[in-house]
Amino acid sequence: MAEFVTLEVSEGIGTIRLARPPMNALNRQVQDELAAAAHAATVDKAVKAVIVYGGEKVFAAGADVKEMAEMDYGQIRDAIGGMQAGLGAVASIPKPTVAAITGYALGGGLEVALSADRRIVGDNAKLGVPEILLGIIPGGGGTQRLARLIGPAKAKDLVFTGRFVGADEALAIGLVDEVVAPDDVYTAARTWASQFVGGASRALAAAKAAIDEGLNTDLESGLKIEQHLFAGLFATKDQAIGMESFIANGPGKAEFTGE
């Protein structure tokens, strides 16, 4: 049983909970447990959408610096692939995902949040990638996902300076998608995730794959990816259910099975 990361499933929504007090420092054990939780959320058919949550006080204040400080070049070279996989594991979940952020989301913590499809934060949130202040750079996907999300100039500003941004600035630059009161963060995340509980799961997975894979290639290749995923949905039960329901009853009334 995992010690610091759990997956709880309720009403079709899976919550991956980070719980390593006091600041949810993301050591190698947490990274491995996060990867395991993401896999469990992926294979559990009862899970239709996923929330990543660090609790009422803090999301995650970064990787475990004490652990990393003891590693030499050879050790970190061997470990970095696993670190990227763990901190970015949420991106591999083929379902809608949302990071629910209160307090700090820094360094590896922000990298975990960047791997979600959406980020909802409390108005007390502080976000940043302060690795440069340690003489290193983000190594859990931060340089790549951040630049793709907010553009290279804004990403370089955050990475070069290591500064923290508050909720309002984070919303203005596109780093987060919604700002609410801290006590409402998890509820807001559930509200967003609940939209997909009765959805066409395979179509949602295809939509996510088309966007994510398309961003990693040129437009022509992306359009071919879209063609392939679009055509594949005509082998699903939900495609037939959705189109038959539309013809008979109009839009938005289909009762999908997820198959």
Asked about 111 being catalytic, the answer comes back as: yes
Tell me the per-residue pLDDT of 31-59, one tens digit each, with 9 for 90 and over.
999 999 999 999 999 999 999 999 999 99
| pLDDT greater than 90 at residue 64 | no
124 contacts: CB under 8 Å, gap ≥ 6: 102, 103, 167, 182
pLDDT-derived band at 63 (thresholds 50, 70, 90) equals: confident
The domains spanning 5-194 and 201-249 adopt the same CATH topology = no
Residue 256's pLDDT is what? 96
| pLDDT greater than 80 at residue 154 | yes
The single residue of 33, 67, 111, 169 carrying the catalytic annotation is 111
Pairing assessment for the beta strands 13-18 and 97-101 based on DSSP bridges: unpaired
Mean pLDDT of 104-118: 98
The answer to whether 104 touches 130, Cβ cutoff 8 Å, is no
| Rounded distance between C-alpha atoms, residue 62 and residue 78, angstroms | 20
Measured distance between the N- and C-terminal CA atoms of the chain, rounded to whole angstroms = 30
Tell me the per-residue pLDDT of 169-223, one tens digit each, with 9 for 90 and over.
999 999 999 999 999 999 999 999 999 999 999 999 999 999 999 999 999 999 9
pTM of the entire structure? 0.95
Domain residues of the chain, as ranges? 5-194, 201-249
Token pair in block for residue 97: 């995902």
176: left (phi over 0), alpha (psi -120 to 50) or beta: beta
The single residue of 3, 11, 67, 131 carrying the catalytic annotation is 131
Token pair in block for residue 109: 């913590």
5-194 — its CATH code? 3.90.226.10
For residue 206, give the 3-state DSSP assignment.
helix
Q: What percent of the chain has pLDDT over 70?
A: 100
Q: 201-249: what CATH class?
A: mainly alpha
